[in-house]
Amino acid sequence: MAVPCLDDFTILRCLGEGSSGTVYLVRENDTGGLYALKAIPKLKLSGSLLAIEAVVTERNMLLDLRGDDFILQPRACFHDSKYYYLVTEYHPAGDLHTLLLLKGSKADAVRFYMAELLLALEHVHAKRVVHRDVKPENVFIDNDGHIVLGDFGLARKLSAGENTISSDEMFGTPAYTPPEVFTGQPYGREVDLWAFGVMLYELIAGRVKLRSPDIRISH
């Protein structure tokens, strides 16, 4: 099988820019399929072990969870002299945050989406993965109206026999981060369920707070 490269895709337009890189809508030349391509500048990663680790983590997590229901599916991973590239499914309906802002937090919709998100977390946790950044912006909606959990750059896989993560590792978005993380206590997969609960409250209450940036701090 040929090694994938940027020439295998045609860039159609920019979907957005983040702190780690730029995401483009691309068409795969052989199949005509539409995908999201994240281009991460190597220069931006230079000298930052944490930034490099996040890129590697997201790639490895998506490959490890490939085929699981309600999880963002990877298409290709490759790099050239200037960029690392991650190609994944493209979901034009947007994310849960945007969709619920547009349509309002209807009880039936909230019940449906959150039930599917809980199933997604069960898949993730069964493979000993802690997502650590569960929030509406990381829950996409596919063409059939089902949720897709993405953005595994801050995820952590527990080793065999390991049930908690050191208090030295503090990750996530503050609005969805549980108290034990801020107080320096060891934590585990339950941090994702705390974030799930915060999301559920926000969606039911119809309140969408201003988001703080992701954080990654060592005590």
Catalytic member of 133, 151, 192, 214:
133
Contact 139, 176 (CB under 8 A): no
For tokens 């705390």, name the residue.
Answer: 194
38 annotated binding-site participant: yes
Give the separation between CA 117 and CA 165, rounded to whole angstroms: 23
For tokens 């229901």, name the residue.
Answer: 69
Residue 74's closest CA among 175, 167, 187, 151?
A: 151
The CA-to-CA distance between both ends of the chain, in Å, stands at: 45
Q: Which DSSP letter does residue 88 get? A: E
φ, ψ dihedrals at 215, nearest 5°: -125, 150
By 3-state DSSP, what share of the chain in percent is helix, strand and coil, each rounded to 5? 35, 25, 40
Tokens coding 81 = 């002299």
Residue 112's closest CA among 120, 122, 102?
A: 120
Does the active-site annotation cover 133? yes
Give the separation between CA 88 and CA 11, rounded to whole angstroms: 14
Annotated binding-site positions for ATP: 38
Annotated binding-site positions: 38
- Residues recognised as catalytic: 133
